[in-house]
Structure 1
Amino acid sequence: MASIRKRVGIKRTSYEFTVSHTVNGESKPIKKGGFRTKSEAKAAAAELEAQLAKGLNPVTKKISFVEYFDEWIGLYKKDKVSTTTLKHYEYSLNAVREYFSGTPIQNINGQEYQKFLNWFGSNKAKETVAKVHGHIKSCVKDAIEDQLIQIDFTRKAKPHWTVQAKKSIEKHLNYGDSEQLLQTIWSKVDEGLGYSLLLLILTSGLRFGKAVGLTRKDFDFTENTIKINKTWGYKKNSLPGFGLTKNEQSNRTIRLDKITMNHFKELFNTTPTNIHELVFYSPESKYKVISNTNANNLLKKLLLELNIEPITVHGLRHTHASVLLYKKLSIHYVSERLGHSDIETTLKEYTHVITELRLQEEQDTVQIFESMAV
């Protein structure tokens, strides 16, 4: 049973409670004061006793949301994610710092968090708000496990945004255009290393940073596979040299077609290597690999020659996935091949193809039962 004590100060009278608490056989009573009335002190003491009865570790010292989020990033994300991904978490931290400042995480409820999302999304695009919301949800989940808070204040929150995301002129090529592009790349593949890079990204679906991070040792010509477990710093805000992949799912081994693998086998046999054994090494480049700008310019040139609306090199990754889905490969396999963290990411990014396939599958279903009736 808690004891309540009245404290008379110079400026005001307040109340404090003392709750019996034992840790490892040693008495460690918990005290907390500053309550305006005796009833408030009793209610708080009762809540604390209820937590102790459930075996929960009571938190009597409040910690600011900014401080906890900062420590959480340092503990679970720093040195465990890529430099680019870490910058995204730091961006989320800055948003929390700007809005919540020194607010204790224990003082934030669902309404206050929704106000934060509304404020943050007042001049942001959907993807930006969703990413920050996702980071905070993960942090809050751990705060509950750490018994800092008992309620997930992000649970009912609805991300709010006002800015439409910038649309690229591309996203992906359709099956016919991708077939034309691949044939054209093959016809020019001996004219420069840039064509080999475009060939690899189109047939593997790799992100640019992972593609230029490949070394000769990553190619297994017996199994016709490539191992993806690192990136290469190819832009201004990247750390130089090799870096971590985005997440655990990004580390994978994928199989390529034999024709593409034979091309690289011959390339390795006929060209000199370099100190890092980088496949797409370019000594003239600032970052020592073929630049993203040059790769995009080469791709644009090829597509314009084919009278196809240009896409970016990253669009080749989308094209790769779209082709596989168009050919009705399992979305689970496509998700794994792309190194997505979960299948929801794949479903979201390739809704356009899935919708097209669903319409075709509806027609196929109707035809199946019509043919059975004849």
Structure 2
Amino acid sequence: MIFMSVYKEKGDKKWRVEIRTKDKTGKKIRKKKTGFDTKKQAEEFEREFINKIMNSSNITFKSLYEIYFEDVELKLKVNSISTKKAYFRKYLLPFFENYYIDEIVPNDIRKFQNELIKNNLSKNTLRAIENNLKTILNFAIKYYDLPSNPMAKIEMVGSRKNKKKMLFWNLQEFNQFIEVVDDLELKFLFTLLFWTGMRIGEVLALTFKDIDLNKKKLNINKTFTRLNKTDIITAPKTESSIRKIDLTENVINLFKEYAKTFYKPVPSTRIFTKGKVGIRLNFIKYIEQAKVKKIVIHDLRHSHASLLINNKVNILAVAKRLGHEDIKMTLNTYSHLYDEENQNMINILNNL
């Protein structure tokens, strides 16, 4: 049973709403709100509130947005949430905010796409916006009885992430580069990236307790990001990213040398103190000094994978070391490096 009342107190210029009801679980709910300029505004709030607690699809896109992020904020990493919210606040909410989700039709989405195209956004950005819209409407199907997703009838105007030609260094190029690095912290950082294939966020999150010199192993169980001028350490993106990898002698020796620059470090002391921007700018500077091919820091991860693959390391071992969820991801990313192996296979078969 629902008790609802829209009224004005004597002498009050603003409308009020009072609601007493139970949700689907039988929990009692009481809601009072004041400050509405018109009776119509108060009645719209009343309807929206009831539909929201009864999991009805007759709610506004803005309400769905609020409910959706209450849910995903418990499941996603902070930086992922920040990125998603940016797409909603900048693009999706300004257009769909006041739409009732059960009234959004393919033609509305087509109009929205046309507005996006006018902004000359990149294909990748368009795709990300469309994917977020599709995801939140699928959420409404699952939890708010939306009959179908209007995105299903729409052709995407964005494209999947453009596949650029993968760049990486061979061992000779890396040695030429590392020779000019005169900062010990950066020398160890770049060496670690090249010889382990770690992600930059994983490296920056490392503490002294993560390196086991006796077993010559490195424990990877967290990642670093910087958001709103705050350093944040979180769990890795996937469970497979949590891993222990073996370290080469050159990495261990360089770490021992670098560790001497710390005054009585404790297990929780972070190994690297420099920020991403400074690291990136120095990386560019040293590339110019070394006169090697221009790559970005993440390409050191590709360089490590290439080094392993070209030295006939088993693909399963490569995937495990890189923290990939399965070998399919490794094969999809580095399939071009296996072209020579395919030719070798054919040559062997032809000679049988």
2:284 maps to 300
Give 1:278 shift. Answer: 1.0
Q: What amino acid maps onto 2:149 in structure 1?
A: D
Give 1:279 shift. Answer: 0.3
8 Å contact 2:222–2:242 — kept in the other structure? no
What RMSD, in angstroms, separates the aligned Cα atoms of the two structures? Answer: 3.9
Mapping for residues 115-154 of structure 1, pairs under 5 Å: 115-122=111-118, 123-154=120-151
Deviates more, 1:66-75 or 1:333-342: 333-342
CA distance in 2, matches of 1:192, 1:334: 28
Give 1:196 shift. Answer: 0.6
- SS of alignment partner, residue 242 of structure 1: strand
1:193 maps to 185
8 Å contact 1:303–1:310 — kept in the other structure? yes
- Deviations 1:13-66, CA, capped at 9 Å, x for gaps: xxxxxxxxxx99xxxxxxxxxxxxxxxxxxxxxxxxxxxxxxxxx965611223
5+ residue gaps, structure 1, are 1-22, 25-57, 281-288
Q: What amino acid maps onto 1:307 in structure 2?
A: K
- SS of alignment partner, residue 243 of structure 2: strand
2:156 to 149, 156, 159: 159
Give the TM-score normalised by structure 2. 0.68
CA distance in 2, matches of 1:89, 1:314: 23
Q: What amino acid maps onto 2:245 in structure 1?
A: R
Matched, 1:243 2:233: yes
1:254 to 240, 244, 247: 244
1:364 to 330, 344, 351: 344
Give 1:222 shift. Answer: 3.8
CA 1:347–1:364 in 2, change beyond 3 Å: closer, same or farther? closer
CA distance in 2, matches of 1:80, 1:343: 25
- Between the two proteins, what is the percent identity of the paired residues? 23
Give 1:89 shift. Answer: 0.8
CA distance in 2, matches of 1:244, 1:302: 30
2:88 maps to 93
1:12 maps to none
CA distance in 2, matches of 1:331, 1:137: 35
CA 1:325–1:166 in 2, change beyond 3 Å: closer, same or farther? closer
Give 1:308 shift. Answer: 1.2
- SS of alignment partner, residue 243 of structure 1: strand
Q: What amino acid maps onto 1:230 in structure 2?
A: K
Give the TM-score normalised by structure 1. 0.65
CA 1:121–1:343 in 2, change beyond 3 Å: closer, same or farther? farther
CA distance in 2, matches of 1:107, 1:332: 49
Deviates more, 1:111-120 or 1:124-133: 111-120
1:206 maps to 198
2:211 maps to 219
2:174 to 173, 178, 181: 181
2:41 maps to none
CA 1:277–1:60 in 2, change beyond 3 Å: closer, same or farther? closer
Q: What amino acid maps onto 1:217 in structure 2?
A: K
